[in-house]
């Protein structure tokens, strides 16, 4: 660990990680939580804006619909933004894509800030959509940029920082929305414009950061610029091992154009990688963590926590998520990706089942709701394994020609899962009550079993070696037997 920390401060690596974080996944996390606090003020603004134009109030159902559009279009923008990762990252490079993303965030912030003075709720809708686009694009370019700039032995820890900054962003949104800070009716447009400041800081700071070394060598065939970028980020050195690994990958994929999403889905060489991404992404999205993050108030109210204590419990959950992500960053290179995935899902399954049980028994004692909260805290802590591993894992299992399309594919799954969960969870909670948590437990268990039996370890391996590990997975039906045989080397 000490050696890793020394290497982070030898060059500009630590500065690079922080700069990418504040303009990348941190903004994504901020947007997820910050919209909750000013919601009554924005709904009043919608009604007042309409009344001043037409001198008649809006029906409550119409206000609710417009407010739902403001919340929901962020997800639509995120989905579209994630679909544009391949185009932006391929045309402008990883650094250029982040700079364009910053420009979109700054424009979005200006639109949001001006909406109040111009008395236009339509501008709030537009700003939320473009914020979502920037979040969807920036999150995956952030992960790609980190992974393509890291030495093999530090790749997991460095790429996992995107999950850490996402957790920090969620906590920042909760803190900034408190009445002690910017949670006032007069400041809601200022609160929702804060990401523009972070985007501007990153835009300026990126001028002092090199392009991703792997992109420079493999895509641009510029060995000198690649070595110079490695030295700038990680300190003086020849980096022969890293350069040789990149050149081997370059030779292996020579003549192969960058894959489209359709081409990626048709290619049998990466079918196991795609299936793995699908299973893990949906296992995370439907594990219950998205529901707890987005509907924490409803979940805690259902658990029996007094309403005046809920915001403090929510802040505690946010702090736990940040601390867990940091700890996972130091453990990932020792424990490995596969171990954190299947063990994390396994414990999460048990915890969700226990949450369902305490929900059934909550009327049998005043202390039971607090047991539920304790279990939710533990769930968030162990969830840090799968959610933290996903950024480095998604990067490692695809070689350069497949990676941009793979991130588009992963982004579509992530945002689609987020949208579905947001739509169905209120109905699940209302109809199934405590049994909804048993559904989450089942999803986590399936995720744990899939990873344990079929997913190889990627720790400390080159990207070509990882591809070979996935190619060794076969499911076939022998001609003389109806039994399905699994062959995998884990």
Mean of the pLDDT values across residues 424-430? 71
Is residue 281 very low, low, confident or very high in pLDDT (cuts 50, 70, 90)? very high
Mean of the pLDDT values across residues 220-228? 94
Angle at 286 between CA 28 and CA 350, to 5 degrees: 120
Identify the residue with better confidence: 207 or 261: 207
What's the pLDDT tens digit per position in 338-373? 999 999 999 999 999 998 898 888 777 778 888 888
Identify the residue with better confidence: 457 or 415: 457
Residue 237 Cα to chain centre, angstroms = 33
Asked if residue 390 lies in contact with residue 163, where contact means CB atoms within 8 angstroms, the answer is yes
Angle at 64 between CA 63 and CA 67, to 5 degrees: 85
CA distances from 193 to 17, 111, 187, 382, 415 (A): 23, 9, 10, 33, 23
Is residue 188 very low, low, confident or very high in pLDDT (cuts 50, 70, 90)? very high
What's the pLDDT tens digit per position in 250-265? 888 877 778 888 898 9
Task: Tell me how crowded residue 419 is: count the other CB atoms within 10 A of its CB.
Answer: 16
What topology does CATH give the domain 1-209?
Growth Hormone; Chain: A; (1.20.1250)
DSSP-derived pairing of the beta strands 485-487 and 474-476: antiparallel
**487 pLDDT higher than 50:** no
Is residue 293 very low, low, confident or very high in pLDDT (cuts 50, 70, 90)? low
Count H helices and E strands in the chain, helices first: 23, 2
What's the pLDDT tens digit per position in 337-347? 999 999 999 99
> Percentage of the chain surpassing pLDDT 90?
45
Cα separation, 88 vs 100, whole angstroms: 8
Mean of the pLDDT values across residues 378-397? 89
What's the pLDDT tens digit per position in 102-138? 999 999 999 999 999 999 999 999 999 999 999 999 9
Domain boundaries, the chain: 1-209, 261-490
The matching CATH number, chosen from 1.20.1250.20, 1.20.1440.230, 3.40.50.300, 3.10.450.50, for 261-490 is 1.20.1250.20
Provide the whole-model pTM.
0.84
Q: Would you state the pLDDT for residue 36?
A: 78
Tokens of 373: 């909260």
**3 pLDDT higher than 90:** no
* Continuous segment of H or E residues that includes residue 487: strand 485-487
Cα separation, 108 vs 205, whole angstroms: 20
> Percentage of the chain surpassing pLDDT 70?
92
What's the pLDDT tens digit per position in 28-72? 999 988 887 788 899 999 999 999 988 888 888 888 888 888 887
Q: Would you state the pLDDT for residue 490?
A: 37
**242 pLDDT higher than 60:** yes
486 φ, ψ to 5°? -105, 125
Q: Mean pLDDT lowest for which of 61-70, 227-236, 305-314?
A: 305-314
Using alpha carbons, select from 272, 250, 320 the residue that is nearest to residue 458. Answer: 272
Mean of the pLDDT values across residues 481-487? 39
């Amino acid at each position: 660990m000490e050696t890793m920390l020394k290497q982070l401060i030898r060059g500009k690596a630590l500065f690079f990680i922080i700069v990418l974080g504040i303009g990348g996944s941190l903004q994504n996390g901020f947007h997820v939580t910050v919209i909750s606090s000013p919601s009554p003020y924005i709904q009043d603004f919608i009604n007042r804006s309409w009344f001043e134009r037409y001198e008649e109030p809006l029906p409550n159902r119409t206000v609710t619909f417009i407010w739902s559009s403001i919340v929901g279009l962020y997800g639509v923008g995120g989905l579209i933004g994630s679909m544009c990762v391949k185009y932006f990252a391929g045309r402008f490079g990883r650094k250029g894509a982040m700079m364009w993303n910053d420009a979109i965030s700054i424009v979005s912030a200006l639109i949001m800030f001006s909406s109040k003075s111009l008395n236009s709720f339509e501008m709030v809708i537009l700003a939320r959509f473009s914020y979502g686009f920037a979040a969807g694009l920036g999150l995956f370019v952030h992960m790609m940029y980190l992974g393509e700039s890291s030495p093999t032995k530090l790749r997991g820890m460095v790429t996992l920082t995107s999950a850490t900054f996402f957790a920090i962003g969620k906590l920042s949104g909760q803190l900034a929305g408190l009445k002690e800070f910017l949670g006032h009716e007069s400041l809601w447009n200022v609160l929702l414009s804060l990401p523009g400041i972070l985007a501007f800081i990153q835009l300026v700071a990126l001028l002092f950061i090199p392009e991703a070394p792997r992109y420079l060598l493999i895509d641009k065939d510029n060995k000198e610029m690649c070595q110079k970028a490695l030295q700038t980020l990680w300190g003086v050195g020849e980096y022969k091992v890293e350069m040789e690994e990149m050149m081997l990958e370059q030779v292996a994929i020579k003549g192969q154009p960058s894959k489209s999403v359709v081409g990626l889905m048709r290619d049998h060489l990466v079918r196991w990688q795609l299936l793995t991404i699908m299973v893990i992404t949906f296992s995370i999205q439907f594990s219950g963590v998205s529901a707890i993050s987005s509907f924490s108030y409803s979940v805690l109210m259902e658990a029996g926590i007094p309403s005046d204590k809920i915001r403090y419990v929510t802040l505690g959950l946010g702090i736990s998520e940040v601390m867990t992500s940091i700890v996972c960053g130091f453990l990932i290179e020792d424990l490995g990706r596969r171990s954190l995935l299947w063990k994390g899902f396994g414990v999460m399954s048990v915890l969700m089942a226990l949450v369902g049980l305490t929900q059934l028994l909550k009327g049998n004692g005043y202390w039971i709701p607090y047991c539920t909260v304790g279990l939710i805290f533990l769930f968030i802590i162990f969830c840090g394994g799968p959610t933290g591993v996903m950024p480095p894992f998604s990067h490692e299992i695809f070689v350069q020609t497949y990676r941009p399309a793979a991130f588009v594919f992963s982004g579509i799954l992530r945002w689609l899962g987020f949208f579905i969960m947001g739509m169905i969870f209120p109905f699940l909670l209302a109809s199934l009550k405590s049994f909804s948590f048993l559904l989450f437990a089942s999803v986590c268990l399936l995720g744990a079993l899939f990873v344990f039996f079929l997913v190889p370890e990627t720790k400390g391996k080159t990207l070509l070696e990882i591809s070979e590990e996935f190619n060794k997975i076969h499911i076939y039906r022998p001609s003389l037997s109806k039994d399905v045989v699994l062959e995998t080397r884990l």
